[in-house]
Amino acid sequence: MGPLRLEYILILAGGAAVLLGALIWWILSCRKTPEERERERRTFLKEKGRITDGTIHEVREIASDGRGPLQLLIFSYDVAGVSYEASQDVTLLQQLVDLNACRHGLPTSVKYDPQNPANSIVVAEGWSGLRHQMPTYR
């Protein structure tokens, strides 16, 4: 077998570049959007989270990066003697939440991750901890 010729080296380098490009495209095409990751987080907490009592403090609308304003529910709750204050973006859940009825002091149920109690929700698809809202759906 003789020495490698320049053509073979170029063919191998080109093939490696094509494979690398395909791998990068595959990785980027499989990446989840922030909305998909948030929906998965809500689903996980709805199915696996524990429930505790909480209180709504306010509904705040803030400007976002060009997609329109975000609606945030700001709430607090206690787990094992530790107080938490959190917010949940409910912009995509507006059909489940009457933001006008959410007022300071409104009692709510909060679902939280027992492994990370700061990870919590008040509303998800098919579940609402807002006590004046729709009943729980299965």
Residue-level pLDDT at 84: 97
Instruction: Identify whether the C-beta of residue 85 lies closer than 8 Å to the C-beta of residue 92.
Output: no
Residue-level pLDDT at 133: 47
| Tokens linked to 30 | 């499989």
Q: Is 72 left (phi over 0), alpha (psi -120 to 50) or beta?
A: beta
Does position 109 have pLDDT exceeding 50, yes or no? yes
Residue-level pLDDT at 68: 78
DSSP one-letter code for 129: -
Longest CA–CA span in the chain (Å) reads 83
Residue-level pLDDT at 42: 95
Phi, psi of 26 (to 5 degrees): -65, -45
Does position 114 have pLDDT exceeding 80, yes or no? yes
Rounded Cα distance, 107 and 44, in Å: 23
| Tokens linked to 115 | 């492994």
Residue-level pLDDT at 2: 54
Q: CA angle, 37 as apex, 82 and 73 as ends, to 5°?
A: 50
Task: Kindly give, in sequence order, each residue whose CB lies less than 8 Å from that of residue 14, ignoring residues fewer than 6 positions away.
Answer: none
Task: Kindly give, in sequence order, each residue whose CB lies less than 8 Å from that of residue 46, ignoring residues fewer than 6 positions away.
Answer: 111, 121, 124, 125, 126, 127
**What are the residue boundaries of the structural domains of the chain, listed by start?**
1-31, 34-128
Instruction: Identify whether the C-beta of residue 71 lies closer than 8 Å to the C-beta of residue 59.
Output: yes
- 85-104 pLDDT, tens digit per residue, is 999 999 888 888 777 777 88
- 9-64 pLDDT, tens digit per residue, is 888 888 888 888 888 887 777 788 888 999 999 999 999 999 999 999 998 888 87
